[in-house]
Amino acid sequence: MKQKAIFYHAGCPVCVSAEQMVAQAIDAERFDVEIVHLGESKGRVGEAEAAGVKSVPALVIAGQPYHINFGASIEALK
Amino acid sequence: MKQKAIFYHAGCPVCVSAEQMVAQAIDAERFDVEIVHLGESKGRVGEAEAAGVKSVPALVIAGQPYHINFGASIEALK
Quick one: closest CA in B to A28, which residue?
A: B27
Other CB atoms within 10 Å distance of the CB of residue B24: 15
In chain B, the N- to C-terminal Cα span, in Å, equals: 33
Burial of B50 (0-12, 13-18, 19+ CB in 10 A): exposed
Q: What is the pLDDT of residue B11?
A: 94
Chain B partners within 8 Å of A67 (Cβ): 68-69
CA terminus-to-terminus distance, chain A: 33
* Chain B residues touching residue A21 (CB < 8 angstroms): 61-62, 64, 66
Question: Sign of dihedral through CA atoms B36, A34, B62, B25?
Answer: positive
Contacts of A69 in chain B (CB under 8 A): 65-67
Structure confidence at residue B61 (pLDDT): 96
Cα(B17)–Cα(A48) distance, integer angstroms: 19
Of all residues in chain B, what percent carry a pLDDT higher than 70? 100
pLDDT tens string A7-51: 999 999 999 999 999 999 999 999 999 999 999 999 999 999 999
Digit-by-digit pLDDT tens for chain B (78 residues) are 899 999 999 999 999 999 999 999 999 999 999 999 999 999 999 999 999 999 999 999 989 999 999 999 999 998
Look up residue A5 and give its amino acid.
Answer: A
Asked whether residue A64 carries a pLDDT value surpassing 90, the answer given is yes
Cβ-based neighbour number of residue A66 at 10 Å: 25
Taking CB atoms and an 8 Å limit, are B25 and A27 in contact across chains? yes
Would you call A21 and B64 a contact, using CB atoms and an 8 Å cutoff?
A: yes
Output phi, psi for A38, to 5 deg: -70, -20
Instruction: Tell whether A50 lies on the interface with B, counting CB pairs under 8 A.
Output: no
Q: Which residues pair with A59 in a beta bridge?
A: A7, A66
Q: pTM for the whole thing?
A: 0.94
Q: How far apart are CA B46 and CA B52, in angstroms?
A: 10
